Amino acid sequence: MPEVGIGIAGYGMMAKAHAYAYTVAPVMRSLGCRPRLRLISGRDRDKVSRAAAAYGFEAWTADWHDLLDRRDVDIVDICTPPGTHAEIAEAAAAAGKAVICEKPLAVSFAQAAAAAEAVRQAGVLNAVGFNYRRLPAVSLMKRMIDEGGVGSVRLLRAVWLSDEFVDPAIPFDWRFDRSMGGTTIADLGSHLIDMATWMAGGIAEVSGQSATFVPRRSNQAVTVDDASSALVRFESGALGVFEMARMAVRRPCDFTIEVNGDRGTLAFAYPRLNELLYGEGADRPGLYGMRTIRAEHESHPYARNWWPVGQGVGYGATFVNHLGDLLDRYPEGPWEPDFAQGASVQAVCEAIERSAAERRWVAVSEVMAGAGIRP
């Protein structure tokens, strides 16, 4: 089996999740190639050396540019803070490497569009880490919508609640710096926007609001929102509501997404991540209500590669499924969601940010035109 050399930029939680996925994917499913963890980079020499040993990498470096110089690194996987994503992605593309980048693709639409153009011109495979698409229940939800399970989509609501920033004593770091960490809209909301547009199509315009409840940390100004929400209009005419907050007490990582059509409803809640709720309008009146689907049957997306019904899958499986799909399609491709899709999500994020700042409806096309991109 041919080997594919993996180089990861970054050594934190996301790098651990990706390294886990590359290690587990060949165990759980048949692949056309075998990933080999060649090199990991990070600025803190002590931490990155320990991460390299723990994650199973052959070598480590304190300079991410070394990933580009290695002939045996075929894929550069970017797991650094968002403010560094675009620079590393463009450099990797110029070096002829396939590129995988954690979400959000960048901290602005202009950066994201530039990264998408760089990989297009270089002709390299590229993908953004919207891993929650690969939860069996979420992927089943998408399949059922495509098969007409809810009819024509009319309404979509998506909420992501976290308690990450609740404690005002949390010291200032890159997460509170918009230029490095991006907004809560881009951090949490990008996942919601990706799943929403994947299921219901493009978004035409938005009306958003934001708040920063703790404006200073470690005597430094916080430049990101703690919570935001938005009304959205889809290009199809469907309506939507998004909410994302890192200030919801005792909500560790709770997201929900619900789609209402003219013939049915589908609803997913991450705390019960192996279940999908389905209400079919054509059901007999005596069966009125929502049925629970255990998205673990071998006929459901990805479930065949995991455990028998009743054993469930978890967070780590999303990365195994996602990176496994990409490895399955290496080197021919295509990969998805790709940088172009990641940039489209970034345009919606920026439209919500602009709407919240200017207190008006903002068309997504306005954001794209402002960056010189024709919708």
Radius of gyration of the chain (CA): 21
Same domain assignment for residues 61 and 143: no
CB atoms closer than 10 angstroms to residue 135? 26
Query: Are 65 and 9 within 8 A, CB to CB?
Result: no
Same domain assignment for residues 94 and 143: no
User: How are beta strands 126-129 and 98-102 bridged, if at all?
Assistant: parallel
Query: Whole-model pTM?
Result: 0.96
Select from 252, 139, 270, 116 the least CA-distant residue to 194. 139
251-302 confidence digits (pLDDT tens): 999 999 999 999 999 999 999 999 999 999 999 999 899 999 999 999 999 9
Query: Are 229 and 206 within 8 A, CB to CB?
Result: no
Same domain assignment for residues 121 and 229: no
Residue where one domain finishes, among candidates 310, 328, 346: 328
Same domain assignment for residues 126 and 156: no
Residue where one domain finishes, among candidates 77, 98, 132: 132
CA distances from 320 to 116, 192, 343 (A): 24, 20, 24
- Residue 353 in domain: no
- Show Cβ contacts of residue 194 under 8 Å, excluding neighbours closer than 6 positions: 103, 130, 133, 337, 341, 345
Same domain assignment for residues 125 and 21: yes
**Residue 153, beta-bridge partner list:** 261
Q: Looking at residue 60, which CATH number applies to its domain?
A: 3.40.50.720
H-state helical runs in 78-228: 85-94, 109-122, 136-146, 178-181, 184-187, 189-200
Q: Looking at residue 191, which CATH number applies to its domain?
A: 3.30.360.10
Same domain assignment for residues 113 and 24: yes
Same domain assignment for residues 300 and 173: yes
- Residue 90 in domain: yes
- Residue 260 in domain: yes
325-351 confidence digits (pLDDT tens): 999 999 999 999 999 999 999 999 999
Same domain assignment for residues 124 and 239: no
Residue where one domain finishes, among candidates 132, 161, 179: 132
Helices 45-55 and 13-28 sit at what angle, rounded to 10 degrees? 20
Same domain assignment for residues 117 and 139: no
Domain count, the chain: 2
pLDDT band at 374 (very low <50, low <70, confident <90, very high): low
| Cis bond upstream, residue 168 (ω within 30) | no
Same domain assignment for residues 186 and 287: yes
Residue 151 amino acid letter: G
Residue 201 amino acid letter: G
168-210 confidence digits (pLDDT tens): 999 999 999 999 999 999 999 999 999 999 999 999 999 999 9
- Residue 54 in domain: yes
pLDDT band at 370 (very low <50, low <70, confident <90, very high): confident
Query: Are 35 and 327 within 8 A, CB to CB?
Result: yes
- Residue 364 in domain: no
Same domain assignment for residues 137 and 72: no
CA 83 to the chain's CA centroid: 16
Select from 363, 358, 368, 145 the least CA-distant residue to 233. 363
Q: Give the domain range for residue 278.
A: 133-328
| pLDDT of 372 over the 90 cut | no
Same domain assignment for residues 183 and 100: no
